[in-house]
Amino acid sequence: MPKRDDLLVEQLWNEAIINYGIKQTRQLLSNECHPTVLKLDIDCRQRHLSNLISIHSRYVHWMEFNEIRLEAEIVVSQLSRIIEDINEETNAQIKKCKSDYRNSISTPNDDDDNNVGSLYIRLCERLLLEITNLEFRRMFPGMHAKMIEWMHEPGSEDKFQPKIVDLIGTIKQDLKDLWSNSHFEVPIKIGVVGYTSVGKSTLVNRFLNVGSLAGDGVAPMSIDKSTYFPLQYDRKEPLIDPDNQNRKTAVTFIDIQGRDRDRSSGDSQTDADRYLYELCKADCDIYVIVFDDELCDEQQKWIDGIEQKLNRKCILVRSKVDEYYLSKFKTLSGVFYALSTPEQRQQFEPNILQQIRLNNAVKNRLVYLVAPDYEPSTSDAQLLLKHNQFDFSRLFDDLSRLAFTARNSRIHSLAQRAVARVINICFRRDYVLNVLKYKIAAGIGSIIPFADQYPRYLSRESIRDVFGIDKDLCQYLSQYQLEISEYKLQTSSFRDCVKVKEEQNHGKSNAKTVGKSLGTAVVAGVTTASDDIVRAFPSAANAMNGAGRVTIVGATLGVGIVISAAVCAWSAHSCGQHIFSYIQRICDDLIQVMDPLIVAIILQLEERVGNNNVSSSEDNTS
């Protein structure tokens, strides 16, 4: 059992306090605040938990007992009651509401200020984790069963069961089942992203076709930050392809937490990378970037990251255009919008719209103008938004079109995550190999230059044996003609099974060149050179097996040579490190190889469905 690292726990807790906006809640509880602000804060938390409960119930029926969901339901009902009580607005009542609020979201019997929100955070984290597990189990039951089986195997080298061929067979079967079940809906995920308070949740609610803000299934909106982690909302009605009314697709909108402008590191690349990491975790097929001001450098990096690193579609939306529209109208016409005549509105509209488009133009991209506000604060805005939706319909249509092209990428992404999960949990084990015997052999072998490399070589071979990387696997993979960029592979294990693409201009090769010119390649060269020395004796190595092959190295050496204990110890230690690092690298490579393999399997299935459709329509005509 690993030892609890208190410092790490504290750091994670502090991070969670910031991410979940607990600081703001603490301030509300300890200082004077307007009841409406307090109410909004409670309402957000209540909606967050309700959202998680409703996603959870997609996978576990309401009637089934689930402890964590039950706990969350109790908190939700307590928060709803407090929201109702706040309406009474007497000072004593507000004080009591604050105390109830604090108790509802914190671990019981804990008065420490640092623990405000501890229960709420725990519930959110646990529900999020359960949802991920449940989604995995439902989509890939075979993979899930295999994972459970492998997780509970006895942890020793001779019994190490996970085999790559089984992994491939299982994911293939799961994907096949998914394809053959025409009723199994795989909703496309559309994520809405941007800086805090630009109107993301408001737009999500419009996409969902939300009428009343009072009900459930409404994304929380507020002047202050109100979304702290990705919230998922299934759209009740499917999206309909505007070009073909028969094509419908289920869709889930993900209201992603905003990037806090006041949490900048000072380096736009670092900030962009951090936010991209959050976007990647949210795992969407299409990302809608919302902005309410000129697009800045960091936002441009989000676009590049989404398209190039995440390989996903990206749509740009300029929100809150009503603000600019109304101020420009006042300047041009000299009157407030609500007091103007229809002729004046008609006269100035084209000019104002043209100006907004010009101000928000982004090179080679379409920018959709929207103003989805539900509760406009002025009569001017009320009137404008009542009659003008700007580009919302066009945006919605284009999104519906795009959603149809995303089904395969959704399944690919889910399958890729499922495979990575099983590899990380079941293959990355420290008992894949009995490290000790290789360490001893390396220690003894260290007395002769390069001889300690031999046990390393053997250990790598054994790891490949244990995982089942052999001729048969290679032959099997070769039929798919997989292509992988050279820089993605860290070991040579799969090089014979896939076509390795050389990429001249990639960062890694540049780094190598730079390294060489600085002379650092000498260090890197040691491993390569000694590997080659060992490879010079492959037939001898193959003739021996297991421990015999390892210990013979030590046994034939040593006569007349003074053994340095320090060198032996270092060598043994470094051999152990090498083995662990090799397991990690081979697992990384396996994840890389599985990626195009999943694509190939999906394409095969797709083709088969296409052929079946053709043959069934031929049957019909005959």
Ligand X SMILES: Nc1nc2c(ncn2[C@@H]2O[C@H](COP(=O)(O)OP(=O)(O)OP(=O)(O)O)[C@@H](O)[C@H]2O)c(=O)[nH]1
Collapsing DSSP to helix, strand or coil, 618 comes out as: helix
Q: Which among 58-66, 96-104, 194-202, 420-428 is the span making contact with Mg ion, rule CB under 5 A? A: 194-202
Q: Are strands 231-234 and 251-255 parallel, antiparallel or unpaired?
A: antiparallel
Minimum CB distance to ligand X, residue 117 (Å): 17
Q: Pick the closer one to ligand X by CB: 289 or 451.
A: 289
Dihedral sign (CA 417, 418, 423, 424): positive
Q: Pick the closer one to ligand X by CB: 167 or 208.
A: 208
Binding residues (CB under 6 A) for ligand X: these are 196-202, 221-223, 225-227, 258, 319-320, 322-323, 371-373
327 — phi, psi (to 5°)?
-70, -35
Contact partner, 198, from Mg ion, ligand X, none, Cβ < 5-8 Å per class: ligand X
- Per-residue binding letters, 212-241, with Mg ion (x by CB under 5 A): ---------------x--------------
Quote the tokens at residue 536: 């010079």
Instruction: State yes or no: residue 25 binds Mg ion (CB under 5 A).
Output: no
Contact partner, 554, from Mg ion, ligand X, none, Cβ < 5-8 Å per class: none
- Per-residue binding letters, 342-371, with Mg ion (x by CB under 5 A): ------------------------------
Quote the tokens at residue 57: 């119930």
Contact partner, 372, from Mg ion, ligand X, none, Cβ < 5-8 Å per class: ligand X
**Other CB atoms within 10 Å distance of the CB of residue 557:** 15
CB 438 within 8 A of CB 459: yes
Burial of 525 (0-12, 13-18, 19+ CB in 10 A): exposed
**Other CB atoms within 10 Å distance of the CB of residue 334:** 9
Amino acid letter for position 172? K
Q: Pick the closer one to Mg ion by CB: 318 or 429.
A: 318
**Residue found under tokens 């034939």:** 556
61 — phi, psi (to 5°)?
-60, 150
Minimum CB distance to ligand X, residue 322 (Å): 5
In sequence order, what are the residues at sequence separation of 6 or more whose Cβ sits closer than 8 angstroms to the Cβ of residue 233?
51, 204, 208, 217, 219, 252, 253, 254, 255
Contact partner, 445, from ligand X, Mg ion, none, Cβ < 5-8 Å per class: none
Q: Pick the closer one to ligand X by CB: 40 or 602.
A: 40
Residues contacting Mg ion: total by CB under 5 A: 3
Minimum CB distance to ligand X, residue 48 (Å): 11
Q: Which among 184-192, 195-203, 397-405, 464-472 is the span making contact with Mg ion, rule CB under 5 A? A: 195-203
Contact partner, 223, from ligand X, Mg ion, none, Cβ < 5-8 Å per class: ligand X
Termini Cα distance of the chain: 67
CB 446 within 8 A of CB 553: no
Contact partner, 196, from ligand X, Mg ion, none, Cβ < 5-8 Å per class: ligand X
Residues that bind Mg ion (CB under 5 A): 200-201, 227
